[in-house]
Amino acid sequence: MTLMEPEIKILKWIKPNSEDKEKALATFEEIRKRIEKALAGSFGSYEVMLEGSMAKDTWLKNDPEMDVFIVFSEELNKERLKEIVEKLSETLKDLSPMISFAEHPYLTIKKDMFSIDIVPAIKMGVNLRPRTAVDRTPLHTEYVLKNTDERLRDEIRVAKAFMKGIGVYGAEIKVGGFSGYLVELLVIKYGGFRELLEATKDWKQPVSISLEGDGKKLKDLRERYPKSSMLLPDPADPTRNVSAALTRKKLGEFVLASWLYLEHPSLYYFSNKLEEMLVNEIGNLPLEFYAGNAVVVDIKLQSPIHPEVLWGELKKSSASIKNLLERHGFGVIRCDEWSDERSCAAIACLMEEKLLGPMNLVLGPPFHLRENAAEFIEKYQKAPMSGPWLEEDGRLRSLTIRKKLSPAQIIEDSLDEVLGVDLKKGSVRVYRLSQTDRTSNYELHRWLKLFLMGKPKWLLPLYFQSALGEPREEDLFS
């Protein structure tokens, strides 16, 4: 199948033309020269290569990310890699360099319109086990180029734009979605964008996809990744699951959006502007109705935290807070996390109740567990409250008086237990959201509005389709 409307329209907005490509190559050449100059003589033999979506010709011109790899032909230890990255950071300090240490040290700079990752890596052959994830990248580039033509690369671009639009693109912890490479493999596997969307109708969990029809590899992979929602062996290293970072939530969002799109295709699905549009029309939504039921943990970070660490802690802390509130008796509707990835982060939870009532039903042991039952009776019969008593199910119960009734108070008293170690270092305020509250942080304020509205990105196209009908392209993409 070739692309149809509205995908053809989309392609105009996202596909780089020859001028865009020349610009990218010129930028790469300039960076390459500066790297070679900086490393001259001191670091053995290497090659500076353009990698990632630019090398694969699957990049989107409205989101131009460049991966520059420095591929060394000999083994280098982590100390040495770090030294290289620090040296480059020094040399490129006019381009606001930022060093990251994930599995592997690398450098991010800004130049022209590009966000550029500079990554030192070790050369490897197809049959060698890669030492780190980045060492595989050149093999990925090779595989994609070998298995696509320009038509299929256009389909990949459309698929990426779709996933960005509905909020499931990116394997970083913040998103937990589809990596660029995963999208490429999926489009290669099914032969096109619409074909991929159609295929989701038959996906069972865990979704098991084999590029080379090798069931054995899939079986091994399922054992290595028992919790993955999707299994897809990397052609460059079949013991690795390309979709290891994909959460069940993002898988589900993609599947639902695919079905909705196939039923009513629309340009909305490819736009990054829907949240902005939603915030602008917020007057129509009864936000004051929700506000009193939401609590915010508002954190000024002590110092910048690497995004993978930051979002990891935020998600874990958010789950702990949800659990804490539920243990205290709240009906938690949902919790979500936000950060500007610089100095601020927040966790918000929306609950069915504004406050808990003071009466608390305590579930005790079954009567036949003698020691537990005796302890429970001993503990509660002295209280001036009713109980303990026995119900038809054979379990003891009693009433106690709740002392903490406000969610903010409950969280505040347990911050040390629920917050991640780096978040804890910051300055933390916990407050109930009210309509008159105005955080001075505009971005946070905007996010809180979106949080209360609870219309996720994958649903917004449908929402706008029914509210506004089809849009003008210019409103969505320019």
Residue 387 binding a second copy, by CB under 8 A: yes
- State yes or no: 229 annotated in a binding site: no
Applying CB under 8 A, does 285 fall inside the site for a second copy? Answer: yes
Q: Is 469 one of the binding residues for a second copy (CB under 8 A)? A: no
Amino acid identity for residue 33 in this structure:
K
65 in a labelled binding site: yes
Among 41, 215, 226, 357, binds a second copy (CB under 8 A): 357
The reply to whether 56 sits in an annotated binding site is yes
**Residues 70, 84 contacting (CB under 8 angstroms):** yes
Position 354 contacts a second copy (CB under 8 A): yes
**Which residue number, 83 or 353, has a Cβ lying nearer to a second copy?**
353
Which CB, 98 or 377, lies closer to a second copy?
377
The residues, any chain, with a CB within 8 Å of residue 417's CB and separated by 6 or more, are 320, 324
Tell me: is residue 33 an annotated ligand-binding position.
Answer: no
Query: Rounded to an integer, what distance in angstroms lies between the CA atom of residue 201 and that of residue 156?
Result: 19
Q: Select from 135-143, 144-152, 213-221, 394-402 the region that touches a second copy (CB under 8 A).
A: 394-402
Ordered alpha helix ranges (H), 332-440: 370-381, 407-412, 415-418, 421-424
Q: Binding pattern to a second copy, positions 180-209, x when CB under 8 A?
A: ---------------------x-xxx----
Amino acid at 193: F
Token pair recorded at residue 91: 């040399």
Q: Least distance to a second copy from the beta carbon of 346, Å?
A: 18
Question: Among residues 302, 358, 429, 434, which is the contact residue for a second copy, using CB under 8 A?
Answer: 358
Residue 426 token pair? 């910051």
CA neighbor of 335 nearest in space, from 279, 297, 308 = 297
Place of tokens 């990251």: 100
User: Which stretch, 265-273, 325-333, 415-423, 427-435, contacts a second copy (CB under 8 A)?
Assistant: 325-333
Which residues have a Cβ under 8 Å from the Cβ of 61 and sit 6 or more positions away?
14, 15, 16, 17, 20
Q: What sign results for the dihedral spanned by CA atoms 203, 208, 210, 214? A: negative
Q: Among 29, 112, 327, 389, which residue sits at the site for a second copy (rule: CB under 8 A)?
A: 389
Residues touching a second copy: how many (CB under 8 A)? Answer: 65
Alpha helix ranges (H) inside 167-246: 180-190, 193-199, 215-224
Residue matched to tokens 């964008």 = 193
SS3 346: strand
Q: Report which of 326, 329, 333 is spatially closest to residue 352, judged by C-alpha positions.
A: 333
- Residues in 211-270 that interact with a second copy by CB under 8 A: 247-249, 252-253, 255-256, 259-260
Q: Does 454 bind a second copy (CB under 8 A)?
A: yes
Q: Is 53 annotated as a binding residue?
A: yes
Which residue number, 190 or 458, has a Cβ lying nearer to a second copy? 458
Give the residue, chosen from 2, 239, 381, 434, that forms a contact with a second copy under the rule CB under 8 A.
381
- CA gap 211, 233 in Å, rounded: 8
Q: In whole angstroms, what is the distance from residue 92 CA to residue 70 CA?
A: 15
Burial label, 472 (beta-carbon count in 10 A; 0-12, 13-18, 19+): exposed
Smallest separation (angstroms) from a second copy to the CB of 389: 5
| 389 strand-pairing partners | 397
Nearer to a second copy, 50 or 462 (CB): 462
The whole-angstrom separation of Cα 10 and Cα 193 is 13
Q: How far is the CB of 359 from a second copy (least distance, A)?
A: 5
Known binding-site positions = 53, 56, 65, 67, 117, 140, 160, 169
Where does this chain bind a second copy (CB under 8 A)? 201, 203-205, 247-249, 252-253, 255-256, 259-260, 284-286, 289-290, 293, 329, 331, 333-334, 350-354, 357-361, 366-368, 370, 373-374, 377, 381-382, 384-394, 397, 399, 452-456, 458-459, 462-463, 466
Known binding-site positions for CTP = 53, 56, 140, 160, 169
